[in-house]
Each structure stands twice: as structure tokens, then as C-alpha cells.
Homo-oligomer: A and B are copies of this chain.
């Protein structure tokens, strides 16, 4: 164990409930959201006034296969990390065997586990990771690095056919900001730190990394780097590949470090080879990241457009303008409808007045020919900087929105967006209680293809729902603007018939969406990694030969297939 440094014990490391998202005592509530019940009834066919949710999963009722970790290996691992930091308990093994995709949630609740990880080991230092990796190679173990386990790509799940012992390396004890270079604006950070703990350590010294993916509360820096994560503020702060400037990775033959120095003209980028490698080239132990002074002023302003095409024109014009917002987001008609249905009933006088004002505004918009129930699109733009800059940029954006047929709603709805942003994953667990899947698919699209991708995905999804004769609700937003295009982020909800057919029903819808991305030149995922879930499309995405090159790199660096085998490309 590393000396002289107090680290959290394995059991203190933040973790999800074994069967769902996040903490045990947090769940989605609809009793304070009056518009949610009718929406659930009309769009996905649940009548919340009648239907009763299924019982909460109970691990005691499931059969959990025993660990296959040989006693000798157990002893060697414990000698490295200490007995307290090697956990073989059922609940931990079950939790660490799944991410948080819909198929994962189905499988983890259903039991009948084909293959679970055999042990969870919590290293406390890079040196310990090196020792564990050495043991894994000597003993022919499979090693799966694990950050927050929030992935929806299957990246942390062992291959069901794996016959060797599987050990998950939970990085959560390595949770420190080691050093901030205040001159360069670069921080050295251990890879196991969770989003909130990272930002707390940075913000208490006046800095922020500015990376806020939806999974923020249950994901880690190393996980973001290993899966090429994007945060909602990427317009300003960049995707994780822009933020992580240097890293250290424990490779089967030692430690590789990439320098956090601008201008890396040192041949093909090793750095970009490790980013997105999902543990197949080694274990990321540390990242050097760009940090920024917390902006003095921050405002989220909401806008409304009459329809998607006007909205996209506005978003593109903002991306092309001299303004540099922190984020830009456009919900399409269905997502706008959903957002409005998620608004809590006002309780204060001020809230009631605001609701009245909104009703009046929508009535006015209808009088102007807007379709306020299905077509209009809400948009949020976040501004950060000095007061003067924020005011100037707001004024420019206001004009752009107006020129593209939209109106400015103001800071009130924007503030609501900013508060609830990390809560959406809890909704999925709630829906599953009523046999409804809610999940997401995202892709990158160029500005010239974005409307076509948007509309054909809807067509494909609804065609699939008609084929199976079941309802389905889909909505979408555009976010993460770049020079050449943006991310389209689709959310869908479909009821399913039974636990037995659940996965088949799920993939029927999801695969149709993914295939549509491919057919329109888009990427297999904008920021949700490949893992096993997106692997069927990897050859279409990066060409067959490109996949062969990546496969060759994994084979050469990990010939024994000990490092998270089967992820990204098989084998």
C-alpha cells in the first residue's frame, strides 16, 4: 500500500445501488408534475392512475454464482491492496458486472447471471495498479478497469463466455487532485475521482474543469478519458479529449506518459490512442487536465423557435458567430413537450404568476400561427465571463434568434434547466417499474446533414414501432456545437411485453436507430463509447480495415487478452 496517505476505504467509494442509477434513497417523483401523467398515458401507454409499479428488486431472491478467484490469487491481490480493498461480496460483484444501459438494468435485475466478475479490487496508487497488472498477466486473469460504472456501452461487463477469473479494478480510491499548476492552468488528477469530488477540490481553489456529462455524479475522470466522454459545456470547455492534455497509463509492459505540453509533434498520437481505449491498452492512472478560473458571471437563457428547422438555423448561426457560449442546446418539438410536462406545479405566488405569464405567451404564439403543442422548440444557451461579455453575447444571440424566427424567454426557464440537469437517469428506473424502457442514442452529424439525420431517425423508429404494433415515444435535442456539425441526442421510451422478451424488444428499436446513423454517414456514437453495444457498427464507422488496425494494436499490446477483452472490436 502507498505510505503516509490516507485514502478512502473501498466501501466508502461512491457507488450506485446494485440494480439501478445512483443512490438508494433518490427516485423520480411525478406527484408534483401535473402534466406528466397525461403525457405518460398518451405517448407510452402507462396509466399512472391505475398501474402499479413492480416491486423493488431484491438481491436475496436471486442466485449469485460464487467467485471463481483461486485462493492463492486472492491472497496475492490482498497483499497488494490490503484485505479491506479486495471485495468479493455478492452485491459488489453484481454491481461491478454491469454498466447502466437498459440491457444492463434488465440483466442485473433478472438474475440468472451467466458471468459475474470474481472480485473487485481497489488500488490506492499507480504502483499498486502495476503490481495488480503483473499478477493478472502471470495468473492469466482478466482485468476490467472501472470508473463510475455509468456506461451504457457494455464496457465494464465481462464476456459471458470468459472462463478465466475476472477481476474488476475499481479506481475510486484514487480520488485526488495532486497538483494545480496555476500559471499554466493545468491540474494533475488521479483517474479515479468522481465528478463532484473533482469539482469540489478544484472549486475550493477557484478553478473548474468545466466537464459536466449527464452522468457527472456517478462517473470518473479516468472513465471519461477511457470512453471519450463529452460534457454538456463542451462548446466552451471542449470534449474530454480536448481537456485531458496528458495522461499516465499502466500498460502491460510499464507506464506510458504523454506530456501535457501544447504541440505534440512526436509521430502518431499515443495520447489519442489511449483516449477511448476502454481499458484495452492499460489502466489510466492519472490525467493532466486543463482547468479554468470559475467565471464571475454565468447565465442560462431560454429561447423558443416555432419549429426544428428554424431552431437549427439559429443554432448554426450562433456557432458561426463571434459569440462563444458555454453550451447551446435545442430541444425538438417532442422534447420540448416532454420538458414542459416535467415542470413542477408552481407552489409560490411568484411561480404561479410565471405559469400564468407562460400560458399567456403560448396563447399569443398560437395566435401568430405557432404550433405550441408539438412543433415549437425550446433552446438554452449558457453565457459565462465578465458581466460585460455576458451582456454583449446575450444581445448578439437575441438578435440571431430573432432573425431566425425565434423569441427570447429569458433567464427564468434557463435557471430551471441548470438545476435539474443530473436527475434524468433516475427516470429510467421509475419507468422500468412500469415495464417501459427509456434510453438514449447519440451521434455526430454535419450541419448539412443534421436535419436529414434527425427526420430519418424518427421515421425509422416509428416505422419499427408500427411493425411491432406498439407505441413508442421519441424526442431529441441538438447540443455540443462544433465548426462542422453537432451532436444529435435521441431519447426514446417504449413499453415492453415481458421480462423474457425485453431485450429483443429493446434491440428491435435501438438497432434501427443506430443503423440509421450509419446509413447517413454519421458516427456510431458521439460520446457514449463503443464497448459491446455499439460494436456491430464499428466496421461501418471506421471501415473494416480501420477496425482490423485497431484489433491488431490490441493484440500486439495485450497478446494474452487480459485487458478488458472483447470491447470496441472483437476478440
Which residue numbers of A lie inside 8 Å of B, CB to CB? 181, 183-186, 227-228, 230, 239, 241, 245, 251, 253-278, 281, 290, 316, 320, 322, 324, 385-386, 389, 442-449, 480, 482-487, 521-530, 538, 541-543, 545-546, 548-550, 552-553, 556-557, 568-569
Contact = CB atoms under 8 A, between A and B. Distances in A.
Contact of A447 (B184, B265, B444, B449): B184
A79 to B, nearest CB: 26
A454 to B, nearest CB: 14
A521 B259 contact: yes
A569 B556 CA distance: 17
Nearest to A485: B262
| 10 tightest A-B CB contacts, nearest first | A272-B272, A263-B444, A263-B526, A262-B482, A183-B448, A269-B272, A267-B568, A184-B446, A261-B444, A228-B265
Contacts of A267: 276-278, 530, 538, 542, 550, 568-569
A72 to B, nearest CB: 29
A227 B264 CA distance: 11
17 contacts: A183-B446, A184-B446, A184-B447, A227-B265, A256-B543, A258-B546, A259-B523, A262-B480, A262-B526, A264-B444, A265-B528, A266-B525, A268-B568, A272-B273, A290-B483, A552-B557, A553-B553
Contacts of A556: 552-553, 556
Given A251-B549, A484-B184, A545-B254, A266 B524 contact: yes
A261 B524 contact: no
A187 to B, nearest CB: 11
A235 to B, nearest CB: 11
A546 B270 CA distance: 7
A446 to B, nearest CB: 4
A487 B262 CA distance: 7
A263 B230 contact: yes
B549 A484 contact: no
A504 to B, nearest CB: 26
Contacts of A262: 444, 446, 480, 482-487, 526
Contacts of A389: 322
Contact of A269 (B253, B275, B541): B275
A408 B286 CA distance: 43
A381 B184 CA distance: 21
Most buried by B among A264, A271, A275, A320: A264
Contact of A268 (B264, B276, B290, B527): B276
Given A256-B545, A260-B484, A549-B270, A276 B281 contact: no
Nearest to A525: B265
B273 A265 contact: no
B484 A245 contact: yes
A543 B276 contact: no
A80 to B, nearest CB: 21
A534 to B, nearest CB: 8
Nearest to A448: B183
Contact of A261 (B227, B239, B253, B522): B522
Contact of A484 (B185, B530, B557): B185
A214 to B, nearest CB: 14
A309 B270 CA distance: 34
A181 B448 contact: yes
Contacts of A185: 320, 447, 483-484
Nearest to A557: B549
A290 B319 CA distance: 14
B542 A270 contact: yes
Given A261-B445, A263-B526, A265-B276, 19 more contacts: A184-B449, A185-B320, A185-B483, A228-B265, A230-B263, A256-B545, A257-B546, A259-B541, A261-B485, A262-B485, A263-B443, A263-B523, A266-B276, A267-B277, A267-B568, A324-B324, A549-B557, A552-B553, A553-B553
Contacts of A255: 543, 545
Nearest to A523: B261
A134 to B, nearest CB: 15
B253 A548 contact: yes
Contacts of A549: 251, 256, 270, 273, 557
Contacts of A258: 542, 546
Contacts of A524: 265-266
B265 A543 contact: no
Contact of A186 (B484, B548, B553): B484
Nearest to A385: B322
Contact of A521 (B261, B322, B448, B521): B261
